[in-house]
Chains A and B, each alone.
Chain A
Amino acid sequence: MTRGHRLAHRYIWPALALVVAGLFVTALVTRPPPEPAQQAPVKQEQAK
């Protein structure tokens, strides 16, 4: 690799790691809460 490519590598990877890690964590933190569990017990109640 040329000196320029090595220099680019040295700057690109820390920047890319920071950006992707930040957005990755943001995506996980801001995800909607899980959907409630199935309604099976309610059906049993109705059957009674």
Chain B
Amino acid sequence: MSAGFQAVHWNRNKIVYDLVLLAGVVLFIGVAVALSWNRTPPKNAADVFGLYIRASGACGFLMLTLVLCIGPLARLSRVFLPLLANRRHFGVLTCIVVISHFAAVLGWYVADGHPFNLLFELTKWSDYASFSTISFKAYGFVALLILLLLAATSHDYWLAFLTPPVWKAVHMLVYLAFGLATLHVAKGLLQDERSPWVAGYFAGCFLVVAVLHMIAGWREASVDAGEAPRDNWIRIGPPSSIPDQRARIVAAPNGERIAVFRDGAEIGAVTNLCAHQNGPLGEGRIVDGCIVCPWHGYEYRLQDGCAPPPFKEKLATYPLRLQDGMVEVDPRPLPPGTPAAIRVESA
């Protein structure tokens, strides 16, 4: 993998995906503005900006909720895996909607005749002494800065430059942004809006995301607990216990996960971490002799963990042996790209 810049490779699926998303955003904001306009016709330019601020804010919050649900849903059910492939496009569009929300806020201040008041409000440092005095705009502004950072570093160039672990750690800031956006709503919109349905909607969105992440996290805790190796080998089971062209995932205590794949009579063990975004390779399948990552389709040969030419990614492999008819794996990784697959008589 190179840190050299390459433009996004557009294909038909990505274009359709983005167009559908864009149409959804335009429809959501358009309908929300039209309904509000009908209920409370604007009296001046500031009111028009106000309508857009609410509509784009609600749209951005919903998009952030949906984009954060994709990860845990894909962990809980393979049905949702296809949604992961273009998740970054969804995230970038969310950021664009939030930028338009902020632009409308600036427009509202200009239309109101006090273009610099937002700056004064955000830099009134004495307000930051307690939760009750912090302006809701401060929460929203910090959330916007985080989303800008994430959108700006969403391209694979930054993924390669920062390395997947660092990139992933940086992008976990989106959780903080979501928490700040929820507080932005609670201290802003919900101070005037008394309908319990509106408060319930925003609280419900946050709860759904939080509960999904917690369930997905707890479900995987047992796998992370790992299995104690005997004489440095972890027993997998008979070859037939590994589904054909699929993997079984094991881990040593305090160790990273290992994906043990079987392709007919050939068995190979590689790290469960895809070299692209640390995706769960063991949840992928073998196609034409190559392990295919379920997240973005990166491929690796089963024999040695190397991506087929012209790609250069390599995975760490693990020694395997057949002992008393049982497949066993040594949890100490070999250098990436080391051939380590074995053949068994029958599976």
Contact = CB atoms under 8 A, between A and B. Distances in A.
Interface string B180-205: 00110011001100100001000100
B278 A1 contact: yes
A9 to B, nearest CB: 5
A12 interface: yes
B194 A34 contact: yes
A48 interface: no
Contacts of A1: 168, 273, 278, 280
Interface residues of B, number: 38
Contact of B172 (A5, A10, A14): A5
A14 B176 CA distance: 13
B148 interface: no
B175 A16 contact: yes
B308 interface: no
Nearest to A22: B131
A3 B256 contact: yes
A8 B172 contact: yes
Contacts, number: 83
Contact of A30 (B132, B182, B254): B132
B221 to A, nearest CB: 7
A20 B179 contact: yes
A48 to B, nearest CB: 29
B287 to A, nearest CB: 23
Contacts of A28: 186, 190, 199
Contacts of A30: 132
Contact of B191 (A3, A16, A26, A32): A32
Interface string A1-36: 111111111101110110111011011101110100
A16 to B, nearest CB: 5
Nearest to A8: B172
Interface of A: 1-10, 12-14, 16-17, 19-21, 23-24, 26-28, 30-32, 34
8 contacts: A1-B168, A5-B278, A13-B214, A16-B175, A17-B211, A26-B131, A27-B190, A27-B191
